[in-house]
Amino acid sequence: MILRSKEKIKLDQLGQFYAAFNSEKNPGTFSVGIHLKEFLVPMILQEAVNDLMKRLPHMNVRTYSGFLHYYNVTLDKPLIIEKESDNTKPCCYFSKGSHLLRVIYGERHFTLEVLHSVCDGRSLAMVASSLLIRYYELMGLAINKSGFIDCMNTVQAEEAEDAYARYADMQKSKSAKSEDVYVPKYKPVATQVVTQRFDVAKLKAKAKAHSVTITEYIMAHIFNKFAKQREIDGSKKGITINVPIDCRGFFPSKSLRNFVSHKIIKMPELVNFTELAHDIKKQFAEITPDYIQGKISEIERMMHFGRFVPLFIKKWVIKSIGHSISAGCTTGFSNLGLIKLPKEVQEKVDMFSFALGAESNMPYQFACVATGDTLTLTATTTAVDTGIIMRIGNAVKAI
């Protein structure tokens, strides 16, 4: 597959959704950061980015709006890395006409920030890891790149496929009514990102003691602390967490675009911590291939039936749906899991970080990722008070 300069790329369903929905209050952005044990060489990083964008031209794009839909256009203009400063705000709004992928660097780290109209979190983690490998390759390190994107190879057609279109079944749908849920009272402020780090082995042991996964263990603590904050706020509304689900675990695809669905996990009332964790586990067990295909098909069908509706009308409908979905969640939590790197590269990495963008109806969003022996839990918030973030972190870390 060869993408030509200025080639139009039809957005997948989630890309269309975020292109219409994103704004300064709902930026639709997220990031993966890599923190090194040594000083970073910006000139080499820029060269690695240049090689990566040649290899993945469908990520070197801008979004344009047509009469009926949004589309991305590949660019000749190179993606220039940005030095971290007070002006490089995290998970911020991408203005129209700009690159949809940013690379921001500091003394010992770099961060890839992207809009959902390009890819999902799992794809960005693969891109960031492959960029890291290319960086050290240019630094003279011999690396086994098996399982990663080789920047010296040609573009692969399957990497740019719209996987939703391939797996959607227009007869299946798993739509659910949005509920009025608890959202903490808060004073708004510019987006803040708070990152805490944990020992993976210790977390595994704690989760195992409750017979749950690390994801379920952390979510139980998030529910627990939000329930205590709800009591302080004098609310009796239910608490829910929106969890992105990587569809590749159910339907094979090598797509580096979006291929993700979601599940809303509800907190059961009047249970202890272990029962809470087990109920979360039970709800995760409901995520089956049939469930995922229903979720894929729901939005695919909506986009299909609206394909001839003018964009200015369709945009209004999509925004209404987006607000309804986010209004049905107290917070969000995404876990990218364990990032495994080649041994020679792993030795040079301190940690990975993963952050979700803020949304207007959810003042707190949580995300985590692990590599080596370190897991980072990151909270993105538009609230002045970060106390609940620290309380969750302390509870997760507590013996």
Sheet with 240-246: strands ordered across: 188-199, 374-383, 364-371, 331-339, 240-246, 260-266
How does DSSP classify residue 158? G
pLDDT of 169 reads 81
- pLDDT recorded at residue 27: 77
pLDDT score of 5: 54
Q: Could you list the pLDDT tens digit for every one of the 399 residues in the chain? A: 445 557 788 888 888 888 887 777 777 899 999 999 999 999 999 999 999 999 999 899 988 888 878 888 988 888 999 999 877 777 777 776 678 999 999 999 999 999 998 999 999 999 999 999 999 999 999 999 999 999 988 888 899 899 988 888 866 666 666 678 999 998 988 889 999 999 999 999 999 999 999 999 999 999 999 999 999 999 999 999 999 999 999 999 999 999 999 999 999 998 899 999 999 999 999 999 999 999 888 877 777 666 777 777 777 777 676 666 666 799 999 999 999 999 999 999 999 999 998 877 789 999 999 999 999 999 999 899 999 999 999 999 985
| CA 370 – CA 60 distance, rounded (Å) | 27
What pLDDT score was predicted for residue 1? 44
pLDDT attached to residue 299: 74
The CB density around residue 196, as the number of other CB atoms within 10 Å, is 17
CA–CA dist 42, 46 (Å, integer): 6
Domains annotated for the chain, with CATH where assigned, are 8-167 (3.30.559.10), 188-291+308-397 (3.30.559.30)
Q: What is the pLDDT of residue 50?
A: 96
Residues 6+ apart with CB under 8 A from 101: 59, 60, 79, 112, 113, 114, 115, 118
Q: The whole model's pTM is what?
A: 0.91
**Which letter does DSSP use for residue 181 in this model?**
B
pLDDT of residue 2: 47
Whole-number Å distance between alpha carbons of 123 and 257: 7
Q: What is the pLDDT of residue 111?
A: 96
For the record, the structure tokens of 157 come out as: 């057609």
Q: How many residues does the chain have?
A: 399
Structure tokens belonging to residue 19: 């292109």
pLDDT of 324 reads 61
pLDDT of residue 177: 62
**C-alpha–C-alpha distance, residues 138 and 125, integer Å:** 20
Please say whether the beta carbons of 292 and 264 come within 8 A: no
d(CA 373, CA 27) in angstroms, rounded, equals 32
Contact (Cβ atoms closer than 8 angstroms) between residue 354 and residue 32: yes
What distance in Å separates the CA atoms of residue 220 and residue 267, rounded to the nearest whole number?
9
